[in-house]
Amino acid sequence: MPRSYMVDLVCTACGAACSADEPQGVCAACSKVLYARYDLDALRTAMPIPDFSGRSDDLWRYRELLPVRDDRHAVSLGEGRTPLISLSRAAADAGGMGRGALLVKDEGANPTGSFKARGLSMAVARAAELGVGHVALPSAGNAGGAAAAFAAAHGLACHVAMPRDAPAANQDEVRIYGAELLLVDGLIDAAGRLIREHAAADGWFDLSTLKEPYRVEGKKTMGIELAEAGGWGDDWCPDVIVYPTGGGTGIVGMWKAFAELEELGWIGSRRPRMVVVQSDGCAPIVRAFEAGADHAEPWTDAHTLASGIRVPAAIGDYLILRAVRDSGGTALTVSDEEITQAQLTMARLTGIYAAPEGAATFAALPHLVASGFLAGDERVVLFNTGTGLKYPPPA
């Protein structure tokens, strides 16, 4: 296998560097998010033009830009390389998108049925590589299943805390993979508190969203895949990416990928406008964006049927807001009723049974057209972050 070019970790807030040779959580100096840093100069010399021909058909094809160093820990269940599907029949039904190109990146094709497989593939692999024996995380559903699956593949113990009202299929999945399931009365923030308590008392390694450096490295492969699908170069990118946002690892991961690819010279400076979609019952990022704030205050009384975006507070709020603003993007909410209708419309016009979170991106399109953000002739990529089969069917 090609080697990883990772050299160390760097704080996204204060810039402090730390070693990647031992398990790390957040920055020791300021408690903000750590990113993996790569020797991009050396990689540019070794691969001046991106060429992944003959590589595996999963996210591990981008091994140079991933943090796992030892081939033994590059364990794949087939994650990544998800299809990019044209929604030409649905475009006319999407509030005036008929003149543009509407596509969906269908992350439901991943192992365990969601984009969470990308991030947990990398986080669990690095935990195993660094000698961790027990991994743990809070989850609204899909992350727990993905963590349990990859922990099983690596032979690690796994502990998942989940809201008691999380989809039954997600709860069953965690148990089936042999992980410990801890149910809490409350939301994912309550699940997070329980995991932190156990991590301190029992030595579990916390894989919470952006509270360790490697989930984002798996998620950034969504951006690399878009660049490869677009043919690299200056004209690779779609005009707009519409992304359902809870903890935000996906959107900030793609933004990190674009910066690395530009520094390598594999793409130009053009960027998609990044659009955050949240539920009107839990919209801390949208509220902060509209207020011009750099951080999002926790949302009280969070409620939405889209459990994956029912996240009252995100440690990476400043990174999400920075990506949206730097790209000239926007943030908006949709209702649960709109999400349910979008699930039905997508299924009947495209054959894709989207998770509620993914359907929220389709529901956002008429709002984006009505506001003038979309003229209707753009190339737009929606992210369906998981299969709808794990959720109660839309009423």
Domain positions in the chain: 84-113+216-390
pTM value? 0.96
Tell me the C-alpha distance between 20 and 32, whole Å. Answer: 16
Task: Mark residue 137 as left, alpha or beta (left: phi above 0; alpha: psi -120 to 50; beta: remaining).
Answer: beta
For 200-244, write each residue's pLDDT tens digit. 999 999 999 999 999 999 999 999 999 999 999 989 999 999 999
Tokens 């050396």 belong to 42
Q: Tens digit of pLDDT for each residue in 152-192?
A: 999 999 999 999 999 999 999 999 999 999 999 999 999 99
Query: What is residue 360's predicted lDDT score, i.e. its pLDDT?
Result: 98
Has residue 340 got a pLDDT over 90?
yes
Given the structure tokens 């599907």, which residue do they identify? 85
| Reported confidence tier of residue 98, pLDDT bands at 50, 70, 90 | low
Q: Give the angle subtended at the CA of 393 by the CAs of 181 and 104, to the nearest 5°.
A: 95
Q: What is the DSSP letter of 108?
A: G
The encoded tokens of residue 23 equal 């398990």
Whether the per-residue pLDDT at 66 is higher than 70: the answer is yes
353: left (phi over 0), alpha (psi -120 to 50) or beta: beta
> CA angle, corner 357, sides to 170 and 228, nearest 5?
105
- pLDDT tens digits, one per residue of 271-295: 999 999 999 999 999 999 999 999 9
- Residue range 97-122: average pLDDT? 93
Indicate whether 91 pLDDT > 90. Answer: no
Q: What is the pLDDT of residue 10?
A: 98
Considering only CA atoms, give the Rg of the chain: 19
pLDDT above 90 as % of the chain: 94
pLDDT of 395 over the 90 cut: no
Q: Whole-number mean pLDDT of the chain? A: 95
Supply the pLDDT for residue 319: 98
Distance (Å) of CA 188 to CA 113, 121, 216: 20, 21, 19
**What's the CATH number of domain 84-113+216-390, 3.30.70.100, 3.90.550.10, 3.40.50.1100, 3.40.50.12280?**
3.40.50.1100
Read off the pLDDT band of 92 (50, 70, 90). confident
Q: What is the pLDDT of residue 89?
A: 79
The per-residue pLDDT for 96 is: 66
Question: What confidence category does residue 99 fall into, taking pLDDT thresholds of 50, 70 and 90?
Answer: confident
Name, in order, each residue with C-beta under 8 angstroms of 226's C-beta and a sequence gap of 6 or more: 84, 105, 236, 237, 238, 241, 254, 381
Asked whether residue 371 carries a pLDDT value surpassing 70, the answer given is yes
Q: Is the model's pLDDT at 72 over the cut of 90?
A: yes
